[in-house]
Structure 1
Amino acid sequence: MNSFEHIKNILKEIEEFSDGTDVFKNKIVEAALRLDPKLLSVLMKDERSNSIFFQKVDDIFIFDKIKFQKFISNKEFLPDSFTSFKNKIGLTANGEYLTEAKEVVLDFPYKDCILEGGQTKEDQKRQEIFWNETLASEEIDRLFEPKALINWKKYDENGEHIVEECTINDNLILKGNNLIALHSLTKSHKGKIKLIYIDPPYNTGNDSFQYNDSFNRSTWLTFMKNRLEVAWNLLKSDGTFFIQVDDSEFAYLKVLCDDIFGKENFRETIVLKSSTESGVNAINVKRGERLFKVKEYILFYSKSKSFRFKPFYTKAEFNLNYKYEVINKDGTYTVEDISKKFKEKFTHLDISSTEKDLLTKKAFENYALQNSENIYSLEKNIKKAGEKFKNFALANKSKGIVEAYENSLKKIVLIYDGGVFVPLQERVIIEENKKYFGVLASDLWVDIGTTPSSEGGVKFSNGKKPEKLLQRIIAMTTDANDIVLDYHLGSGTTAAVAHKMGRRYIGIEQMDYGENDSVVRLQNVISGDTTGISKNVNWIGGGNFIYAELAKHNAQYIAKIQAANNGNDIEKIRKSILEDSSRNYKISKTSFEENIPLFEDLTLDQQKIVLINLLDKNELYINYSEIEDQTYNISKEIVKINQQFYNSK
């Protein structure tokens, strides 16, 4: 018997790899590649297969899986290629083949990695760090422990103050890496956030996500995935998640979110008109290169399938069917068709019929909106109503009067001429003390408009969102005192609107925007900012918020390395790192010092990369559990505030 037949007979004895007659070639190859213990045990025990596929080195047997794969693939081993159809080949999800799982999954390089994403300036390009390539798994757990918070400040109408007390009820602005900050919040806020809205970098090549590696899309998806997973756990059972993006990564993000949040929790894709058909891009449109980009998307998920948002209306053309004025006087109703009255009002004017129609429509609309509590349309299509209601309406038809009817919701409705009066009052929208006609909202939002440059008292050139947009999202999903979270806070629109609307909020931002920072904007809000939604919500100022920063450890070294301008700066930092116990344990101080000449031959940027690699990335920030370690020199007052924050219920 030749070797091919011999090995085939051995493998036939393994149930997973054979049906007793034929062997399953692909399953065997897959098992060999993952070094399946059962397969290796059988092959090692057989003297003939052992001599072919194993090499003995110092009493250790080394399996040659490449040789074994070629052997199995040889036509002399399995001449009938159709046996491959006995095995399934393809992508898997959760241990099942996709054809069996009936799922679609998004797979990409570094999917299971952690991307720290540590930029401090918007225009800063920084090589990404994938933690599970540099840290053992138990160290990754430590990386995500709650961090100590320092530089506490409280802001109210009287200015800046020292923080003496902090609880979960305080509005909070956190400065530092948003991934680390989110994990810190799991100790104090898990299951307590009602709404998360984020406006992350869109990965357009021109925004703050400037990770120009060869896996740019994979890097962005990893960046998003890390943060979405932990943020989702912060939501209450009736919480919601809104993510705003453009079409650069929208399709990929939707699949990723379905995987993380559950596709059953997907509510809507809202299309937002975010700009107008004008500007410098007109030349590209005229050339036929591309259309104007006027839209963005907002993905809307809820933590529970049973979640219900609060219905709302958006501005629309006035519906002329709202023409009946119904007056109730001592229980007796009078009905007048006011459209006739306004039509007669302009008949004497010597103008065109078109102009008369416009004047009539405008006057009619203004009157109806100003007296909306008495204006109705008459709906006669009541086929879907209950039998009791239909019988009542039918009996009313011949009476010529208005009658009150209590429906199944215990609500009084007015019946007239066999139909039901629909009140205009519930459709009226008030903006800046002016009334507009409204219709129930759709998933196409064209009425928000662009953001005024002066809104909030800060100038933010890269994607400042309109306060009106956040007002709508917050109003439809939250109530007073609910907590709103934005971990890509930017100029602070989410926090500013939440503050004006009486919600609590947490904002996380890593980058420093100076005079256009969210802290500056919130101080403007407290002082009575009159821009944005202020008039709509009668905002006059007041309130307070607390600011704190993640306590840096090795992150301080990174800041110094990035700021270094010459060799002298680099030398000082290098010496300090090599003496610090927080350097990467894999780096030998002695070996590094022996190679100083090689290090000095590198360019300044290359030296910076080397120094960053010297640091233990698990020690970027100080863990809350180590806050009382004398090494960090954190005051008792700050320790006390941290204890209050993390232990508040």
Structure 2
Amino acid sequence: METKLNQEIRAVLVKFDDKYFVDGIVNKSKVIRDLDSYDADLVKELLSNDELKKRFTMEIAGATVIKVNDLIDVFEQDEYWQDSYTKYSKKIGLTVNGRFLDESSEVVLDFPYKDTVLKASMSKEDSGKDDLKPDEPFLNEIIAQDEIDTLFDKKILVNAKRYTKEGVGEAAAFDEDNLIIKGNNLLALHTLKEKYSDKVKLIYLDPPYNTGSDGFNYNDRFNHASWLTFMKNRLEIARDLLSEDGTIWINFDDNENGYINVLLDQIFNESNYIANVIWNHTKQSKNDERFFSRHYNHLIVYAKDKNLLPNFQADRTEKDNKAYKNPDNDPKGLWRSGDVRSPNLRKTLKYTIEAPNGTIIQPPEKGWRWAKETVEEKMSTGEIVFKKDYSGIVRKIYLADQEGRTPENLWYGEDSGTTRDANGEIKKIFGTNVFSTPKPEKLLNKLITIASKENDIVLDFFMGSATTQAVAMKMNRRFIGIEQMDYINTVSVTRLQKVIEGEQGGISTDVNWQGGGSFVYAELMEKNTGFIKEIVNAKNMTDLQAIFKQMMETADFDFRVDLEELQSEDLWQQSIDDQKRILIKVIDKNQLYYNYSEIDDKNVRDLISDSDYEFNKSFYADRGE
């Protein structure tokens, strides 16, 4: 039985003839899409209906505002449209504050305390300290929508250096160089957007797994909502940077694997899902596990547009060629037999073949793989031959025609490395294990081979120990790396310097690496980020008072802060932990770094070297691309 509301909505929809109906049934998916995009014709007709106008509009300052989300909710309820034509009956997905992620314009930014060097528990080693326990109250902040444009605006880059085999020097210009950026990776990605949109062929990520127990040097104790928002913010801008025929590969364990798949479906579209590759990263059983000894990670692979993606090809090995023989001395060389049967039942492909001796060869149960004309053509070229006893046909697949092979989705340590291999590679370079969760060079070599070609750009914005960049350099790919942690200068950059010098670890022997190459290093120019770091590192109230004095002179405060009250004596009556929390809380988080738009302001220009100034002008130059 139709409700009054149902009847009124249907009365509006029928005015559009068959636009919103399929065989007389409401196509509510189409209605929802048009409501979501504020289709002018549909909104006009809805407002002309008195009943709907009363229920789904409100008056604000003399203007009529349609409550489109309430209308959409109606169409997502089965009790209103019980037999409606739709691909789903109720929408299921990730929500923030009761709204689906793909419908929300809000961006919740947890990163000031989640992914920069701002507080204790940024690394595993800090989590046990008493001075700043990981339960401090300044974990989550929502940045207002009108501030986001400022926050995401491109940043000034400073301390630019070029690393080559000859050494390190100033970089006053930038031209298609490999690039390493130190700073918050979300803001660094937006800094790259204008220059690198649609240009990155391959993105590999090894993000925090949200376990709370591994050695990853980021805060690795997010709750699900915060962690998903953290990833959502970064994956959305990552998609913009990816080329139309590019792919993204994300390394995970089981902890968030299901959640990240749903999120990736929303951002990249479920139709662009490629594979879940299982990487067997360890051989030794872990007896300290309670239920199962876990021996694998996931590599989740999505394309930006799968329809534009070429077929993946992995390198061939001697093992792959083992089946190729030449028993009949075929002049085309080694070959193996291929399947001539259809994988699916096709009645049109069930025909007989007559052999030269008159024998009639019956079709396989599901039919032949090709039409009769195609089989006859392949016989004329020698690709298909008859068996010696004429009992069937054989398809020849020649080794000479095989440039690579289709990769499998189960990777073993023999050809993709193990965690132990990765630790050994780091120890060989530095003499000790300076990084707790590296990935082996063989792993990156395998996926870079599959998903890119020479001179393609490879991006990793959870750079870590720089395995991705090291392998990319050895494989003649261009690369971009982003890392916020201070070990970028003691581990990541140092490793790449050694690669340039010709270090022989990892895949060096396999690819005949002799050294060479170059990269440019630069840092996002800190603004309020510097104050936050100083506050966290302050030893006592005297230090904090000196920092506060500087803040009053140059810092940007949240617009909601009452500065007179902040300067009262009450602040210094608190415990030092609370003093730190308050001072960090009042800082404007959308002014963590200087925006490029400020570079010619006198008070900013004086802080930048002439070389860095020229570098920025070169980096952001419009080259007519």
TM over 0.5: yes
Among 424, 448, 454, the alignment partner of 1:454 is: 424
How far apart in 2 are the matches of 1:410 and 1:491?
56
* C-alpha distance 98-252 of structure 1, shift in aligned 2 (>3 A): farther
What is residue 205 of structure 2 aligned with on the other side? 198
One-letter identity of the residue aligned with 1:300: V
Change (3 A) 1:246 1:152: same
State the AA in 2 paired with 1:150. V
Question: Helix, strand or coil: the match of 2:565?
Answer: helix
Read off the aligned partner of 2:178 and give its amino acid letter. N
Instruction: Give the match's secondary structure for 2:522.
Output: strand
Higher alpha-carbon deviation: 600-609 or 375-384:
375-384
Partner of 1:268: 275
Return the offset for 1:119. Answer: 2.6
SS of 1:170's equivalent?
coil
> Structure 2: how far apart are the matches of 1:425 and 1:614?
68
Q: Does 1:107 align with 2:95?
A: yes
The question of 1:619 aligning with 2:607 is answered no
Alignment of 1:549-568 (within 5 A): 549-568=523-542
Q: Relative to structure 1, is the Cα distance of residues 296 and 12 closer, same or farther in structure 2, using a 3 angstrom cutoff?
A: closer
CA spacing shift, 1:322–1:566, aligned 2, 3 Å: same
Q: Distance in 2 between matches of 1:393 and 1:502?
A: 53
Query: Does the residue aligned with 2:95 lie in a helix, a strand or coil?
Result: coil
C-alpha distance 393-463 of structure 1, shift in aligned 2 (>3 A): farther
Matches within 5 A, 1:410-429: 413=383, 415=385, 417=387, 419-424=394-399
Which residue is equivalent to 1:163? Answer: 171
The Cα of 1:462 is off from its aligned counterpart by 2.7
Question: Given the superposition, is the C-alpha separation of residues 583 and 515 from structure 1 closer, same or farther in structure 2, using an over 3 Å criterion?
Answer: closer
512-521 vs 106-115, which deviates more?
106-115
Preserved CA contact (<8 Å) 2:115 2:219: no
Q: Secondary structure at the match of 1:282?
A: coil
SS of 1:310's partner is coil
Q: Contact between 1:628 and 1:639, CA under 8 Å: does it hold in 2?
A: no
Match of 1:606 in 2: 578
In the TM superposition, residue 637 of structure 1 has moved relative to its aligned partner by: 2.9
Q: Could you say if the C-alpha distance between residues 163 and 555 of structure 1 is closer, same or farther in structure 2, counting changes exceeding 3 Å?
A: same
C-alpha spacing 1:327/1:558, structure 2 compared with 1 (3 Å): same
- Residue 391 of structure 1, CA deviation: 11
TM-score normalised per structure 2: 0.71
Distance across 1 between alignment mates of 2:577 and 2:318? 57
Query: What's the CA shift string for 1:254-309, capped at 9, x where partnerless?
Result: 0011011110111111111111232xx3144xxxx311110111111101121133
In the alignment, does 2:154 pair up with 1:188?
no
The 8 Å contact of residues 393 and 415 in structure 1, kept in 2 or not, is answered as: no
CA apart distance, 1:90? 8.2
CA distance in structure 2 between the aligned counterparts of 1:463 and 1:237, rounded to whole angstroms = 31
SS for the counterpart of 1:491 is: coil
- CA offset digits 1:231-275 (Å, max 9, x no partner): 111111111111111000000110011011110111111111111
Other-structure match for 2:372: none
Determine the structure 2 residue equivalent to 1:146: 154
- The SS at the match of 1:138 is helix
Counterparts in 2 of 1:178-257, with a 5 A limit?
178-206=185-213, 207-210=216-219, 212=221, 216-257=223-264
Give CA-to-partner distance per residue, 1:508-535, whole Å, 9 cap, x none. Answer: 0011226752111111111112111112
Matching residue's letter, 2:314:
F
1:610 Cα deviation from its structure 2 partner: 0.7
Counterpart-to-counterpart distance in 2, 1:475 and 1:591: 60
Deviations 1:71-110 (A, max 9, x none): xxxxxxxxxxxxxxx9975899xxx999856653122559
Aligned to 2:611: 637
**One-letter amino acid of the counterpart of residue 454, structure 1:** G
Structure 1 residues 449 and 211: alpha-carbon distance in aligned structure 2, compared to 1, 3 A threshold: closer
Q: Give matches, 1:31-430, under 5 Å.
A: 38=54, 100=88, 103-108=91-96, 112=106, 113-116=108-111, 117-120=114-117, 122-123=123-124, 124=126, 130-131=140-141, 133=142, 135-167=143-175, 169-206=176-213, 207-210=216-219, 212=221, 216-278=223-285, 281-284=286-289, 289-306=290-307, 307-312=309-314, 322-325=324-327, 327=329, 374-379=333-338, 381=340, 394-395=355-356, 413=383, 415=385, 417=387, 419-424=394-399
Structure 1 pair 514–470 and aligned structure 2 pair: CA distance change class (3 A):
closer
1:643 Cα deviation from its structure 2 partner: 1.8
Q: CA RMSD in A?
A: 4.1
**Structure of larger gyration radius:** 1
Deviation at residue 571 of structure 1 after TM alignment: 0.7
> Residues 148 and 101 of structure 1: is their aligned pair in 2 closer, same or farther, counting only changes over 3 Å?
farther
- Residue 109 of structure 2 aligns to a residue whose secondary structure is coil
Once the two structures are TM-superposed, the CA of residue 426 in structure 1 deviates from its matched residue by: 6.7
Aligned mates of 1:91, 1:255 — CA distance in 2: 26
Deviation at 1:564? Answer: 0.6
In 1, the alpha carbon distance for the partners of 2:205 and 2:358 equals: 54
Deviations 1:544-578 (A, max 9, x none): 00000000011110111111111111110111112
Residue 534 (1) aligns with residue 535 (2)? no
Which residue of 1 is the match for residue 30 of structure 2? none
For 2:147 and 2:436, how far apart are their aligned partners in 1?
Answer: 36
Whether contact under 8 Å (1:396, 1:416) holds in the other structure is no
Within 5 Å, give how 1:486-501 maps onto structure 2. Answer: 486-501=460-475
Aligned amino acid, residue 312 of structure 1 = A
State the shift of 1:539 in Å.
Answer: 1.0
Q: Give per-residue Cα distances to partners, 1:410-468, cap 9 Å, x unaligned.
A: 99858574534434567799xxxxxxxxx743211124231422325253543211111
Alpha carbons of structure 1 residues 309 and 42: separation in structure 2 relative to 1, 3 Å: closer
Cα distance in 1 between the residues matched to 2:260 and 2:79: 20
Flag structure 1 segments of 5+ consecutive residues without an equivalent: 1-10, 20-35, 44-85, 334-372, 399-404, 430-438
In structure 2, what residue type is equivalent to 1:611? L
Q: What TM-score does the superposition give when structure 1 sets the normalisation length?
A: 0.69
Question: CA-to-partner distance for each residue in 1:569-602, whole Å, 9 max, x for gaps?
Answer: 11101111123251222222221222x2x32232
Aligned-pair CA distance for 1:476: 1.2
Identical positions, percent: 34
How far apart in 2 are the matches of 1:380 and 1:302? 30
The size of the alignment, in residue pairs, is: 505
Q: Which residue of 2 aligns with 1:575?
A: 549
Structure 2 unaligned residues grouped into runs of 5+: 12-51, 60-73, 128-133, 360-374, 388-392
Residue type matched to 1:147 in 2?
Answer: K
Task: Determine helix, strand or coil for the equivalent of 1:454.
Answer: helix
